[in-house]
Amino acid sequence: MPKELIQIEPQQPQPPACDWRGTKPEFRKGTWCYSGTPQNLTYLEMPNPRPWQPSDQDWKLPENWKQILLDGMKERLEKYRSFRLFMDICVRCGACADKCHFYLGSGDPKNMPVLRAELMRSVYRRYFTLTGRLFGALAGARELTEDVVKEWFYYFYQCTECRRCSVYCPYGIDTAEITMIGRELLNLLGCNTNWVLDPAAKCYRVGNHLGIPPHSLKDNLDFAVDELEEITGVRVDVPIGKKGADILFVAPSADYFVTPHYFTLMGYLALFHEIGLNYTFSAYASEGGNFGLFSSHDLMKQLNAKIYDEAKRLKVKWILGGECGHMWRVINQYMDTMNGPADFLETPVSPITGTRFEHARSTKMLHIAEFTADLIHEGKIKLDPRRNDHWRVTYHDSCNPARAMGLLDEPRYILQSACNHFYEMPENTIREHTFCCGSGSGLGTEENLEMRLRGGYPRAMAVRHVRARHDVNLLACQCAIDKATLPPLMEYWVPGVEVAGVHELLGNALVMKGEKKRETDLRGQPLLEEASHA
């Protein structure tokens, strides 16, 4: 195990001379993300585009920055009842204190959820409560200064908005929502990170986070069709922009372009072909993910709007969504109220099994794991789990599908049907208690790597446990960010464990009509002898 991170101690072993309100963040290399470029701020029509970095002394804030922040806070206190409630009701019981992976990985007290929220509450008390105005520090209030702005930036970009802390809070305080407001307020001053704004700007201009233009999207899908044919002997058809299809399929753009996501895409294509689904991809709604969620409610709404717009244009009946994490938080918690109601669509009904998915009647959008689990349950597809016998699999519940939509059993049902060797990680690290990958909510950048490895430490230790006990060599998940950020996390803390999507494993096991004898899995890895002779 690497030496430099194994010592996880409080960052200040001796209590500071002053209370927490007087301490300042240290912008140490490896623990913060680069600022949004002026170009991206301009693309997104955001204020105060300028060259600056968080490590600079002078952040070049607008002259009236304080008034801008306080006005922004006032507006949001009036607009979001949850925000005001979360500012008022914390009793500082400490139940959340040791539940954040960033606190566990860094030992920094300001990464305790209660203290992270207090960074903003202290300002709220000073400017928006009578006791705070009258009694100041005695009432837990503090002045809004440039150092406070810097502290907000440092710690609101050390929260992955994973909501694990909220599971343990007796009042249901959702620190992720406080972080979201914190980032939104910082945006008003032009203080944001490029790893959030760059994908959002690409989505704004080109239609997806990776900036893949329509012709490249088609090329990539065609390439996946060729590769799938090479492995299975079956040539599949991939419709794009097909008017009148039953179903619009929307996936995170990483699925088209990067590995291991791409193997998940091959799994979808194999499945849709095998069941004869009348569906279509879209070159316009070519991104299900939404980095607006990590920036502001307005940007989230804008980026999300194209899904319903495209469903309307193509005259589909309902929408199916691929494996992603935050995409589903936006869909499940915000889409129908932000951009709906989508009355022009129907409640999703599987054309293969006839199952009506009542729980999706509001959004009209179904998660692929729900769709596939139903196919397996109704005996509509044939699986040969021996084709995954070279994998000893565990499952990482991605924070958003698990905690924001309760998608806990369906992925497990698929994995247990498609794999012979499946092992759960310890109970307090899975399902709604799952630990974040440490890089969600736009923190998956290289310059922030130390913090990512620290934040991912609790998840990695749970994987290490099942590796030691069951020789696990594959971590399955269903989130595009996880698929990008768990591989380096595993490489650092638990070498020998690879990362895969649920539908990659489903695609490996799927027995297709007319297929040739399979020699390899979807990523080209040879099957065990017994499986290839089956």
Return residues touching ligand SF4 (CB under 6 A): 90-96, 99-100, 102, 113-114, 116, 159-165, 169, 171, 173, 175-176, 179
Nearer to ligand SF4, 163 or 367 (CB): 163
CB atoms within 10 A of CB 380: 14
Q: How far is the CB of 157 from ligand SF4 (least distance, A)?
A: 11
Cβ 72 vs Cβ 188: under 8 Å = yes
81-88 helix and 175-188 helix, angle to the nearest 10 degrees: 110
Amino acid residing at 132: G
Nearer to ligand SF4, 169 or 474 (CB): 169
Q: How far is the CB of 177 from ligand SF4 (least distance, A)?
A: 9
Nearer to ligand SF4, 165 or 368 (CB): 165
Q: How far is the CB of 437 from ligand SF4 (least distance, A)?
A: 11
Q: How far is the CB of 168 from ligand SF4 (least distance, A)?
A: 6
Nearer to ligand SF4, 179 or 339 (CB): 179
Q: State the Cα–Cα distance between residues 498 and 474, nearest whole angstrom.
A: 5
Q: How far is the CB of 496 from ligand SF4 (least distance, A)?
A: 27
Nearer to ligand SF4, 453 or 512 (CB): 453
Q: How far is the CB of 98 from ligand SF4 (least distance, A)?
A: 10
Cβ 429 vs Cβ 459: under 8 Å = yes
- Is the four-CA dihedral 118, 429, 265, 261 of positive or negative sign? positive
Nearer to ligand SF4, 77 or 534 (CB): 77
Q: How far is the CB of 179 from ligand SF4 (least distance, A)?
A: 6
Nearer to ligand SF4, 139 or 352 (CB): 139
Name the strands in the sheet holding 393-395, side by side, starting at the edge strand that comes first in the sequence. 393-395, 474-477, 498-501
Taking alpha carbons only, the member of 394, 262, 392, 239 closest to residue 322 is 262
What is the torsion angle, in degrees rounded to the nearest 10, for the CA atoms of residue 272, residue 275, residue 276 and residue 278? Answer: -60
Nearer to ligand SF4, 162 or 248 (CB): 162
146-156 helix and 65-79 helix, angle to the nearest 10 degrees: 50
- How many angstroms separate the first and last alpha carbons of the chain? 40
Determine the distance from the C-alpha atom of residue 504 to the mean position of all C-alpha atoms in its chain, rounded to a whole number: 19
At which residue do the structure tokens 């951009």 appear?
A: 339
Amino acid residing at 348: P
Q: How far is the CB of 174 from ligand SF4 (least distance, A)?
A: 8
Taking alpha carbons only, the member of 511, 504, 503 closest to residue 534 is 511
Determine the distance from the C-alpha atom of residue 342 to the mean position of all C-alpha atoms in its chain, rounded to a whole number: 24
**DSSP run (H or E) holding 280:** strand 279-280
Phi-psi region of 172 (alpha: psi -120 to 50; beta: other; left: phi over 0): left
**DSSP run (H or E) holding 500:** strand 498-501
Name the strands in the sheet holding 365-367, side by side, starting at the edge strand that comes first in the sequence. 279-280, 247-250, 318-321, 365-367
Q: How far is the CB of 61 from ligand SF4 (least distance, A)?
A: 25
| Pair of tokens at residue 341 | 């109601």
Q: How far is the CB of 152 from ligand SF4 (least distance, A)?
A: 13
Nearer to ligand SF4, 149 or 165 (CB): 165
Q: State the Cα–Cα distance between residues 532 and 534, nearest whole angstrom.
A: 6
At which residue do the structure tokens 């009842």 appear?
A: 81
Q: How far is the CB of 118 from ligand SF4 (least distance, A)?
A: 9
Nearer to ligand SF4, 162 or 316 (CB): 162
Nearer to ligand SF4, 100 or 522 (CB): 100
